[in-house]
Amino acid sequence: MTPTEALARIRRYDPRLKAFIQVFDPPLFGETSDGPTVAIKDLMDIAGTPTGGGAVVPLDPGPTTHAVVVQRLLQAGYSVVGKTHTVELAYGAWGTNRAVGAPWNPWDARVHRAPGGSSSGSAVAVAAGLCDVALGSDTGGSVRIPAAVCGVVGLKPGRGLVSLKGVHPLSPALDTVGTLARDVATAARALAVISGPDGDSAVRDPFDAEAALTTDVRGRRLAAMPIEDLGDLHPDVARLYLAALERLRAAGMEIDIASPPRALEHSFAPNGLLMAGEGFRIWRERIALHAEVMDPWIVRRFEVGRGITDEALAQAHLQRQTDQNAFHAWLDAYDGLLSPTCPIPAPPMIDIDETTSPLSRLTRAANYLDLPGISVPCGLTDEGLPVGLQILGRPRDELTVVALAAAYERVSDWRGRSPDLRGFG
């Protein structure tokens, strides 16, 4: 869509959706202005604009340079229409924010439902058609979770494909930057733009979106997690997951129902330990100064890191490497691993239990085991709420992940669906 069209939709629908923390009118243009419209998670620096990070007190009141990912989008002709809401300091999967407010999931105009986190505003903006594509960060599922519950595509690369310069951290061991869009091709092409070496850190060569989107994956062998290995699932999530597997089989793929090694099932807690331990060490001074105006649940999560010793953190890193080696060896027999993205659809915000994190139960493994992954919509529940299919790939194999997602998208009955926004504007 054109920037003019995007801004018109933002003005009409965002007063209630609250996807954006700041709208750029006129948009921020690069060398040209003929590319897609893009929204940036408010964890990434845009020169001259405060980086709020979902907090009352900005993380940086006046960055002087763009994050590398933002600069690359501008150079490629994307038009930046604003910055989107995030869970405070990106530390939460529900999409709640008691510091500066939370967006509204656009699939239910009557009930304020969880938008998913932490890239909540980015998913809402894309789902509601307020922009073509958005950036998010993903440390334990923060691109894929909101994508799943808002009915869009969320693409998370493996570590080292996209520069993190100018992106405020939660856990340097786990952080990645990904893309959200209404279709796989748009998400993949945006990933291609933001990927590649940044001159300083060890970033891999750019992602080739066109190669991925034209790869024939018929005959590929995929592992699908058994229902009994997935814990408590909403019945509609289970139904739509099994239907997605049948669609992939019909599209010519070989689907093995296979139980992954223990490393996958047990990655949830150690991933959380790394987030708390590293995150507290990064943000302890901010917490000491500003705890009274922070979301109290975010403070509680970071305080867990206070009790994690340096020795425990070092041991967690060693165990992670062992777990990665074991899992990567198992996954080498397959082209990808399938599961639901989230075990439940978006609940009402009033019902959320902040002491639990079910939305990230099936997503944290990708970060802990350093795997590329994508969430693609696979249907609606009987209540009309979106459900996502997660495809995880072998290390550094974003190409196959995108190729598989594009193949599923072609045989799904999803493409073109969008929420009814009449109740929002």
24: amino acid identity, one letter: F
* Alpha-carbon span 362 to 366, nearest angstrom: 9
CA torsion through residues 292, 172, 358, 117, sign: positive
360 in active site: no
Sheet with 386-392, strands from edge to edge, namely 20-28, 79-84, 37-41, 133-138, 176-181, 153-156, 373-380, 386-392, 336-340, 221-224, 254-257
142 in active site: yes
Instruction: Tokens for 53, please give them.
Output: 């990070």
CB 388 within 8 A of CB 338: no
Q: How many CA atoms, within 13 angstroms, populate the side-chain half-sphere of residue 16?
A: 18
- Which one from 118, 119, 163, 171 is the annotated catalytic residue? 118
CB 49 within 8 A of CB 39: no
206-225 burial by CB neighbour count: b if 16+ within 10 A, else e?
bbbbeebbebebeebebbbb
Distances (CA, A) of 322 to 225, 262, 276, 328: 22, 12, 20, 10
Q: How many CA atoms, within 13 angstroms, populate the side-chain half-sphere of residue 420?
A: 7
Contacts within 8 Å (CB) and 24+ apart, 420-425: 420/109, 421/13, 421/106, 421/109, 421/128, 421/129, 422/109, 423/109, 423/110, 424/13, 424/16, 424/17, 424/104, 424/106, 424/109, 424/128, 425/12, 425/13, 425/15, 425/16
- Which one from 79, 120, 122, 142 is the annotated catalytic residue? 142
CB 84 within 8 A of CB 46: no
- Which one from 41, 83, 156, 165 is the annotated catalytic residue? 41
* Alpha-carbon span 331 to 312, nearest angstrom: 28
118 in active site: yes
Mind telling me the catalytic residues?
A: 41, 118, 142
